[in-house]
Structure 1
């Protein structure tokens, strides 16, 4: 099994011909030659990610404090748990992405991973802004600590962290593929039960400012999903020997376990106590999503029976044209500051 080595900080003797440039295990000068990228998708994705600039404080949460105080007890309990879990996910991404980036030997992909790292930190800031707007300092600390004190979340968060730690402990080609799959699952599965909860509240006129924050975050996460989709495809093309039927089944099993964990999380955090949602809908939604995620990277879906979107209302909140009218406040929001020639799987039609 081939071991990967961290790339040199600067290597003026690197082979800069296209044949010598690979996602991992290649040589790189680390010069950002953005007019000469090997992967044609990388610069359009770079422009799209840069155009998504936003800050959490752009969104008024003045009414959300009143909404939060009026939530049903089950809704407030779920709100706190979901926020804590999302903070954990973005925090883990912020810390771990540099560990992956150290072994990527294409500068244009290094650049994209750096932008993603910044955006994950911004998302943590957004959740902090939400909490500061609706509860006092003591309750903020208590909500943050749910991720490490709640026995269910602690067990689940340890599993996610262990998937990343495996690559930190042993850097191989297969290990890189697995850590990419773990990131892809996190970006494409683990956020979405939580997102659905906030969108569900917003459609009933509750926590509408938070719903708008989630739309901005969701936009960023979709570009992160596109990044790992494309990285996965390139690795499969450049290192076909590792993608044996047995290894592909191992990757599908990672998705299978992720789906099971997310369904268990839905049952635990939501149950059948939330207006408009129940554990059965969350189960079907997560399975439905997983089919799209696997198909996008060339793997066979796990749940072919899931062919209809069980939560179609989410599409109201996740249409991502460059300029949209805010669903809640009827004001124009510029999600992207300019045009882009990137087709992110037809962004507005992507099944979230």
Structure 2
């Protein structure tokens, strides 16, 4: 198949219809009427995203400041390395979300990706905020250098880096679809062993401020993952010539590689942390991969991991389809275990 380079969407083209004729490579005036968009239910996703507004410095870190020095050496090391990991993912994700929006010819996608980009910027700010609360500037800088220097982390991120940069250098439909697949992995699986570490601390009444911050980030990422999976499916449906056995095998192959690399990373960073079962963590990573594949319209790779093996995690993230506590009205959180019936299924 010949590779056609896509052009960036024009800002305004009044001769084109308001409702886009295609998500990428289509025609649109650039005028957004939420009551007349190609995928009407995406307005609800937009509303949920903007409803998740929060700011990093509104989270009280006073308890964490006192507690950090009491953590075990393994917990301190994992804390700093995982913050380093998260920063290497969320920082570039701000730019990737904006880049996707530049090539999107559907104005509703542009608006949703703009919100996602802004939230990723807040996430990255939050990692600077939590580190500034508990360690010196030198230690903060060292943590943020991990994405450039740590060999295990570099290996873990290599495929993601290559695909994101390929999209920058060659903006084809194939690279947009592959970048969406990796974005789904990032939003729906790559973060989660790191999130689990902070929730494990919180269930032992450690670093609850950091865990609260992570829960807000987690809630955002769940929405991002949901939208990216839908955007992937819709883009593939609009471009059926790309829905080939070869492309689907590419997706499965990169999901498998990502699961292996994420498992290797979690063993490396969590191996000595009390309360973390590495076999259970591997099952959780595979469960998350299955979850994202289903959301993307594909079959599961790990049929033995269709249930969440770490159900206790559900207690630490708001169910964003339910009632949301006003962030500025009530900042404290109660960490109580949920039942299988009322737990949040997407974790």
With normalisation by structure 1, the TM-score equals 0.90
**Partners of 1:230 and 1:96 in 2: how far apart?**
17
Tell me which of the two structures has the higher relative contact order, counting C-alpha pairs closer than 8 angstroms and 6 or more residues apart: 1
User: Partner residue of 2:180?
Assistant: 180
Deviations 1:28-73 (A, max 9, x none): 2211222212111211111111111111122110010122111110
**Partners of 1:175 and 1:157 in 2: how far apart?**
17
User: Partner residue of 1:298?
Assistant: 297
**Partners of 1:54 and 1:183 in 2: how far apart?**
22
Moved more, 193-202 or 38-47: 38-47
**Partners of 2:142 and 2:44 in 1: how far apart?**
41
Residue aligned with 2:346, SS: coil
**Partners of 1:86 and 1:181 in 2: how far apart?**
19
Moved more, 301-310 or 119-128: 301-310
Name structure 2 gaps, 5 residues minimum: 335-340
Contact persistence 1:94–1:118 (CA under 8 A): yes
User: Partner residue of 1:65?
Assistant: 65
**Partners of 2:238 and 2:99 in 1: how far apart?**
21
Q: Which runs of 4+ in 1 moved over 6 A?
A: none
Deviation at 1:331, TM superposition (A): 3.8
Deviations 1:235-272 (A, max 9, x none): 1221112111221111111111111110010111111x
With normalisation by structure 2, the TM-score equals 0.91
**Partners of 1:138 and 1:14 in 2: how far apart?**
54
**Partners of 1:128 and 1:184 in 2: how far apart?**
24
User: Partner residue of 2:338?
Assistant: none
Q: 1:330/1:178 Cα in 2 relative to 1: closer, same or farther (>3 Å)?
A: closer
Q: 1:26-175 residue pairs with structure 2 within 5 A?
A: 26-175=26-175
User: Partner residue of 2:306?
Assistant: 307
Contact persistence 1:319–1:348 (CA under 8 A): no
User: Partner residue of 1:323?
Assistant: 324
Q: 1:213-232 residue pairs with structure 2 within 5 A?
A: 213-232=213-232
Contact persistence 1:200–1:277 (CA under 8 A): yes
Number of matched pairs: 335
Contact persistence 1:81–1:143 (CA under 8 A): yes
User: Partner residue of 2:203?
Assistant: 203
Deviation at 1:348, TM superposition (A): 5.9
Name structure 1 gaps, 5 residues minimum: 334-345
**Partners of 1:108 and 1:323 in 2: how far apart?**
25
Contact persistence 2:318–2:324 (CA under 8 A): no
